Amino acid sequence: MHAFVMTKYQEPLQEADVPEPVVGERDVLVQVQAAGLNTVDEKIRSGAFKSFLPYELPQVMGGDVAGTVIGVGAKVRDFALGDQVYAQPRMDRIGTFAERIAVHEADLALKPETVTLEEAGSLPMVALTAWQALVERGNVQPGQRVLIHGGAGGVGSIAIQLAKHLGATVATTASAGNIDFVRELGADSVVDYRNQDFEQLLDGYDLVLDSVGGETLEKSLRVLRPGGKVVGIVGPPDAAFARERGLNPVLRLVMAALSRKVRRQAKKLGVTYEFLFIHPSGDQLRQIGALVDKGVLRPVVGRVYDFDQTLQAVQSIGKGGIRGKAVITRA
């Protein structure tokens, strides 16, 4: 089977022939027809997650998939041959930059009927991130105020739409060229991050979804109302995350140390900070898919690469310049 693999951390991916996926009794074998590109792909390749998410190399890369079911395990009951599905495989079973992948049935959902496979392939990781930040962690309620950084990006473009559906008033940061675009998605207020300081313009927010970190994270704490929360998806990781991952005591101390400064700042301001490392969920993807089919959420695909352009596509991660997501497709 043809695939694109990581053979060494911090080095470019390589084309390779790899063994066919092993299909367990609760697995679904999917013919990959679309695979989204995500920042996490680059973080894995760079070794940023190596301490708590080690891989046995070579490792097939890719964490979003949409495609067709071509095989099912003996105990699978909810999926059948020919179903069109989408998923974010669990992080220890990534590998969507390949012709086929075996996905645990719990991570899988039927593709929304009203979108293409390319659009479905763009959704899992960013839509789950938005859902888990706004619904699970944020418990966003009607009338609340939510700030979403990077509104024109993959996570931001979905999060704006979801926050509006939940009844929130939404502010976002974007470049001047994307102001009209994010307003079309539902943003009520837009800050041009290149020419304006959001901290000087915004105040009293209930929740911030931070995808930038650093100084932006520190400023985000200061635009919250007392009791508000920042959910960060780029770090720093915190002790709660270390416990969730079942990391050893040494790594728990390291994680706590990495986030100590921001947690102290948050406590002083009477707000909280939480790090979100998303988890796969077929159930959540089914709910997301229903919202897509109702027209509440629409995927945004800014660029499409052919499968044989995967190396070029991966090298583009983090460079920006597109709206929404980039997707790799196979005929």
Question: What is the percent of the chain where pLDDT is above 70?
Answer: 100
Q: Name the average pLDDT for the chain.
A: 94
Q: Is residue 290 part of a domain?
A: no
The domain that holds 169 is classified in CATH as 3.40.50.720
Whether residues 142 and 33 share a domain: the answer is: no
Whether residues 133 and 204 share a domain: the answer is: yes
Cα–Cα distance for residue pair 218/221, rounded to 1 Å:
5
Domain boundary among 275, 291, 309: 275
Contacts within 8 Å (CB) and 24+ apart, 192-195: 193/149
pLDDT tens digit sequence for 262-273? 999 999 999 999
Q: Is residue 285 part of a domain?
A: no
Whether residues 266 and 134 share a domain: the answer is: yes
Segment 12-16 mean pLDDT: 94
Q: How far is CA 41 from the centre of its chain?
A: 10
Residue 317's pLDDT is 85
Give 331: exposed, middle or buried? Use CB within 10 Å, 0-12, 13-18, 19+.
Answer: exposed
Produce one character per residue of 174-210: b if its CB has 16 or more CB atoms within 10 Å, e if not: bbeebbebbbebbbebbbebeeeebbeebeebbbbbb
Whether residues 303 and 268 share a domain: the answer is: no
Segment 146-157 mean pLDDT: 97
pLDDT tens digit sequence for 63-122? 999 999 999 999 999 999 999 999 999 999 999 999 999 999 999 999 999 999 999 999
What are the helix (H) ranges across the chain? 39-46, 117-122, 124-131, 154-165, 179-185, 198-201, 214-222, 239-244, 249-258, 260-269, 282-293, 310-315
Whether residues 220 and 310 share a domain: the answer is: no
Whether residues 155 and 260 share a domain: the answer is: yes
pLDDT tens digit sequence for 127-138? 999 999 999 999
pLDDT band at 249 (very low <50, low <70, confident <90, very high): confident
* Number of domains composing the chain: 2
pLDDT band at 53 (very low <50, low <70, confident <90, very high): confident
Is the pLDDT at 24 greater than 90? The verdict is: yes
Is the pLDDT at 150 greater than 80? The verdict is: yes
Q: Is residue 291 part of a domain?
A: no
Residue 86 to residues 32, 40, 151, 207: CA-CA distances in angstroms? 9, 18, 24, 29
Segment 187-196 mean pLDDT: 96
Residue 22's pLDDT is 96
pLDDT band at 244 (very low <50, low <70, confident <90, very high): confident
Residue 252 to residues 60, 105, 162, 247: CA-CA distances in angstroms? 28, 31, 33, 6
Q: Is residue 288 part of a domain?
A: no
Residue 279's pLDDT is 95
- Comparing 53-57, 244-248, 258-262, which segment has the lowest mean pLDDT? 244-248
Whether residues 113 and 201 share a domain: the answer is: no
Whether residues 116 and 130 share a domain: the answer is: no
Is the pLDDT at 285 greater than 90? The verdict is: yes
Segment 195-214 mean pLDDT: 96
The domain that holds 57 is classified in CATH as 3.90.180.10
Which among 275, 292, 66, 35 is positioned nearest to 158, based on CA atoms? 292
Which among 272, 154, 147 is positioned nearest to 208, based on CA atoms? 147
Residue 120's pLDDT is 98
The domain in which residue 106 lies consists of: 2-123+299-329
Tell me the CB-side half-sphere exposure of residue 4, using CA atoms within 13 A: 24
Task: Determine how many CB atoms are found less than 10 A away from the CB of residue 25.
Answer: 10
pLDDT band at 161 (very low <50, low <70, confident <90, very high): very high
Whether residues 153 and 243 share a domain: the answer is: yes
Produce one character per residue of 79-104: b if its CB has 16 or more CB atoms within 10 Å, e if not: beeebbbbbbbebebbbbbbbbbbbb
Q: Is residue 17 part of a domain?
A: yes
Whether residues 55 and 193 share a domain: the answer is: no
Q: Is residue 283 part of a domain?
A: no
Q: Is residue 289 part of a domain?
A: no
Q: Is residue 10 part of a domain?
A: yes
Residue 266's pLDDT is 94
Whether residues 82 and 55 share a domain: the answer is: yes
Segment 160-182 mean pLDDT: 97
- Comparing 13-27, 38-52, 88-102, 175-189, which segment has the lowest mean pLDDT? 38-52
Task: Determine how many CB atoms are found less than 10 A away from the CB of residue 9.
Answer: 15
Whether residues 216 and 130 share a domain: the answer is: yes
